[in-house]
């Protein structure tokens, strides 16, 4: 059966080792080199993620909590929602966490503003009732 197989198909003898060659002077000569596998990622080169306004949204949202209230919290929320829409289209987008944080901080700022407005409005109504009772 082995005689029907051409020579070029027969496996080489395991005892045969290639001669070592010196590539550059001064480098050690090597005998048999192990084969290296090269891994190629499917899908080609890595895609760049599109830019978002997640950082600007987070800055505006934090400003809304600290000093500017809804004047910057609402634009921060709008920018955060836009950034989240982009990050949902690209799974693993690096700005996803920033956009979500900006959205949460903006809602907290809007909630604090609404709470202060309820307290201020309630005290104004209470004050008017008390002044009206004294007349």
38 found inside a domain = no
pLDDT above 50 (res 63): yes
Residue entry with tokens 């950034």: 83
Query: Rounded to an integer, what distance in angstroms lies between the CA atom of residue 65 and that of residue 110?
Result: 8
- For the cut 90, the answer to whether the pLDDT of residue 77 exceeds it is yes
Is 94 part of any domain?
yes
Task: Write out the DSSP string of 73-123.
Answer: HHHHHHHHHHHHHHHHHSTT-TTHHHHHHHHHHHHHHHHHHHHHHHHHHHH
What does the mean pLDDT of the chain come to? 82
Percentage of residues of the chain with pLDDT beyond 90: 54
- Residue 92 in any domain: the answer is yes
Query: What pLDDT, on the 0 to 100 scale, is given for residue 68?
Result: 86
60 lies in some domain: yes
- The answer to the question of residue 87 being in a domain is yes
Residue 55 CA to residue 82 CA, distance in Å, equals: 12
What would the pLDDT profile of 17-61 be if each residue is shown by its tens digit?
A: 556 665 566 655 555 555 666 655 444 456 688 999 999 999 999
pLDDT of amino acid 10: 65
Q: Is residue 24 part of a domain?
A: no
In a domain, 121, yes or no: no
Domain span including residue 102: 54-110
Is residue 78 domain-resident?
yes
Asked whether the predicted pLDDT for residue 13 surpasses 60, the reply is no
Q: How many domains does the chain fold into?
A: 1
Q: Are the C-beta atoms of 86 and 48 separated by less than 8 Å?
A: no
Task: Name which of 114, 110, 92, 93 is nearest 102 in CA terms.
Answer: 110
The pTM of the whole model exceeds 0.85: no
Give me the pLDDT at residue 48, please: 85
């Amino acid at each position: 059966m082995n005689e029907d197989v051409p020579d070029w198909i027969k496996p080489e003898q395991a005892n045969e080792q290639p001669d070592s060659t010196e590539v550059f002077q001064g480098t050690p000569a090597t005998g048999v080199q192990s084969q290296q596998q090269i891994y190629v990622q499917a899908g080609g080169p890595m895609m760049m993620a599109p830019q978002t306004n997640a950082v600007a949204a987070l800055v505006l949202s934090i400003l809304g909590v600290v000093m500017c209230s809804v004047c910057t919290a609402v634009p921060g929320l709008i920018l955060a929602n836009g950034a989240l829409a982009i990050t949902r289209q690209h799974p693993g987008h690096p700005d996803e966490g920033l956009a979500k944080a900006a959205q949460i901080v903006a809602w907290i700022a809007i909630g604090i503003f609404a709470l202060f407005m309820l307290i201020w409005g309630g005290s104004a109504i209470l004050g008017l009732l008390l002044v009206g009772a004294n007349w």
